[in-house]
Amino acid sequence: MFELKILTHFAAAHQLRMVAKKCENLHGHNWKVEVCVAGDTLNSWGVLMDFGELKVHVAEVIDTLDHKFLNELPFFKGNPSSENIAVYIAQALAAKLEGTDVRVSRVTTWESEDACATYRP
Ligand SMILES: Nc1nc2c(c(=O)[nH]1)N=C([C@H](O)[C@H](O)COP(=O)(O)OP(=O)(O)OP(=O)(O)O)CN2
Ligand SMILES: [Zn+2]
């Protein structure tokens, strides 16, 4: 099994619904995002997939989050937590990889230097 990882960032605002916590107030983060994809077979060039192609797909997904108020996006009507952001990115990227032999293996969303959430589909 081969796994590729790329890193990216986005900035956004959110309000979490966590009773009586300071994060209920409107605030923002510069999220760092780690995206991993995996597969068993290399192509004729000896790569799982081109990092450049992966970065384009991920950038398109991140663009839908960057400089947004996440609570206004239908996907996050539950709660725009780092966990749910990881799920959103994983699902949106999986849709772009459909029909290929490459799958999303892990998405990690760092909302600060010492706190992150990881989703493994
Ligand atoms: N499991 C999760 N817990 C929390 C999330 C989350 O997405 N998943 N998010 C938050 C808030 O986004 C909040 O902004 C961050 O809270 P917190 O870490 O408490 O705040 P600080 O960055 O200021 O860290 P301190 O250690 O308090 O200085 C909260 N929880
Ligand atoms: Zn927050």
Residue nearest to atom 4 of ligand 1 (CA): 81
Residue nearest to atom 11 of ligand 1 (CA): 23
* Residue 23: partners with Cβ closer than 8 Å, 6 or more residues away: 15, 16
**Is the distance from CB of 26 to CB of 70 less than 8 angstroms?**
no
Q: Which CATH architecture has domain 2-119?
A: 2-Layer Sandwich (3.30)
pLDDT band at 78 (very low <50, low <70, confident <90, very high): confident
Active site residue 23: yes
Backbone angles phi, psi at 14, to 5 degrees: -160, 165
33: helix, coil or strand?
Answer: strand
Domain boundaries, the chain: 2-119
CA-CA-CA-CA torsion sign (85, 89, 94, 96)? positive
Q: Mind listing the pLDDT tens digit for each residue in 16-47? A: 988 678 889 999 999 999 999 999 999 999 99
The rounded Å distance from CA 10 to ligand 1 centre is 17
Q: Mind listing the pLDDT tens digit for each residue in 105-115? A: 999 999 999 99
Is residue 117 lining ligand 1, measured as CB closer than 6 Å? yes
This model of the complex carries an ipTM of 0.91
